């Protein structure tokens, strides 16, 4: 269920007058529905879209139900500061602050893909070196991972629900790979790009993915590879690439160690480095994917 707001909630959130709201409503600047009693309601995702597109400042985030978001709009030069603050909040295990910063980046206009490639990956990379000189760094790392997942899940709530007939992407990380954040972001990026998704998460048996894609009518399969790949697993992943390609489904491999697989080039097989690349592919691949699923 999407969160529904009144026009007054939106007005309070961005500090807009009743007359501005009436003007926007009359001109169709945002989509709204009506309750049985005739009252106007706006979905949270539609309100966020409107705020992002108009560059409005969120002066009262609580009116949108976003208690954690700092009340400020964000000029681009502030992003660096937020990136640094995010690293600090994750290091300190301050979940509310970190969630708020990630949400502020999104409400400020950054895409989920860019947030994943930028601030999240940057902060986690820095957190990742701590364990080398401080055993307690491992605890910090685990906590930061959980907080990132909380934030990604919040971002998901803010994305419009994909249409029932939108193409489907499925994926996860391969069997020996425990990394949970990359596929959580990949799934959110697919939704942001208008797709439906089924994320199987870390440690997914690769040999099950082709059948899962076929049975569910997926148009794209992603695989995240962030840990060393043993030779037997390498063979499994290459076999999967061939099977998926034969099914004429897009196969996307990404992650820090994806290039080490040396997957042979084939039609519909992509080795990507970044979430923004996945997003670009998902948007570009859309018409083909729709044609394939018959819509």
Instruction: Pick from 91, 101, 121, 204 the residue near ligand B12 by CB under 6 A.
Output: 121
* CB 127, min distance to ligand B12, A: 5
Nearer to ligand B12, 111 or 224 (CB): 224
Nearer to ligand B12, 43 or 121 (CB): 121
Instruction: Pick from 5, 140, 213, 252 the residue near ligand B12 by CB under 6 A.
Output: 252
Binding mask 19-58 for ligand B12 (x = CB under 6 A): ----------------------------------------
For the chain, the C-alpha Rg in angstroms (whole number) is 21
Whether the CA torsion 68, 72, 76, 78 is positive or negative: it is negative
Is 6 buried (19+), middle (13-18) or exposed (0-12) by CB count in 10 A? middle
Structure tokens at 94: 């301050």
Q: How far apart are CA 238 and CA 193, in angstroms?
A: 27
* CB 167, min distance to ligand B12, A: 16
Structure tokens at 91: 């290091």
Total residues contacting ligand B12 by CB under 6 A comes to: 33
E strands, the chain, in order: 4-5, 33-34, 40-43, 168-174, 196-204, 220-224, 250-254, 269-272
* CB 58, min distance to ligand B12, A: 26
Instruction: Pick from 110, 254, 263, 282 the residue near ligand B12 by CB under 6 A.
Output: 254
Q: How far apart are CA 262 and CA 280, in angstroms?
A: 22
Nearer to ligand B12, 10 or 281 (CB): 281
In the region spanning residues 52 to 111, those forming contacts with ligand B12, defined by CB under 6 A, are: none
In the region spanning residues 134 to 153, those forming contacts with ligand B12, defined by CB under 6 A, are: 141-142, 145
Residues 6+ apart with CB under 8 A from 251: 220, 221, 222, 223, 240, 241, 244, 245, 268, 269, 270
* CB 270, min distance to ligand B12, A: 8
> Which H or E run contains 21?
helix 18-27
Rounded to 5°, angle at Cα 112 from 110 and 115 = 65
CB-closest chain residue to ligand B12: 254
In the region spanning residues 153 to 212, those forming contacts with ligand B12, defined by CB under 6 A, are: 178-182, 185-186, 202
252: phi > 0 → left, psi -120 to 50 → alpha, else beta; which?
A: beta
Instruction: Pick from 5, 66, 103, 120 the residue near ligand B12 by CB under 6 A.
Output: 120
Inter-residue contact 220 to 239 (CB < 8 Å): no
Instruction: Pick from 9, 68, 117, 192 the residue near ligand B12 by CB under 6 A.
Output: 117
Binding site for ligand B12 (CB under 6 A): 116-117, 120-121, 124-125, 127-129, 141-142, 145, 178-182, 185-186, 202, 222, 224, 226-227, 252, 254-256, 272, 274-275, 277-278
């Amino acid at each position: 269920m999407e969160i529904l707001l009144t026009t007054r909630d939106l007005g309070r959130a961005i500090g807009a007058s009743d007359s501005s709201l009436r003007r926007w409503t009359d001109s169709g600047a945002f989509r709204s529905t009506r309750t049985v009693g005739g009252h106007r309601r706006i979905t949270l995702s539609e309100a966020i879209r409107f705020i992002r597109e108009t560059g409005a400042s969120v002066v009262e985030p609580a009116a949108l139900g976003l208690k954690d978001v700092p009340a400020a709009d964000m000029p681009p030069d502030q992003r660096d500061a937020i990136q640094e603050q995010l690293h600090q909040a994750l290091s300190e295990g301050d979940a509310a602050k970190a969630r708020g910063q990630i949400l502020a980046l999104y409400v400020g206009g950054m895409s989920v893909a860019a947030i994943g490639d930028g601030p999240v990956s940057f902060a986690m990379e820095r957190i990742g070196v701590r364990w080398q000189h401080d055993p307690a760094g491992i605890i910090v790392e685990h906590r930061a991972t959980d907080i990132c997942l909380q934030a990604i899940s919040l971002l998901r709530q803010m994305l419009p629900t994909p249409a029932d007939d939108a193409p489907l992407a499925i994926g996860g990380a391969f069997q020996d790979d425990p990394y949970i954040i990359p596929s959580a972001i990949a799934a959110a990026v697919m939704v942001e790009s208008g797709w439906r998704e089924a994320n199987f998460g870390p440690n997914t048996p690769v040999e099950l993915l082709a059948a899962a894609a076929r049975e569910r009518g997926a148009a794209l399969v992603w695989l995240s590879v962030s840990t060393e790949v043993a030779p037997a697993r390498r063979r499994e992943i290459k076999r999967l690439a061939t099977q998926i390609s034969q099914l004429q489904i897009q196969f996307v491999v990404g992650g820090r160690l994806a290039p080490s697989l040396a997957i042979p080039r084939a039609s519909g097989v992509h080795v990507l480095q970044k979430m923004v690349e996945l997003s670009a592919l998902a948007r570009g691949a859309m018409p083909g994917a729709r044609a394939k699923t018959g819509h």
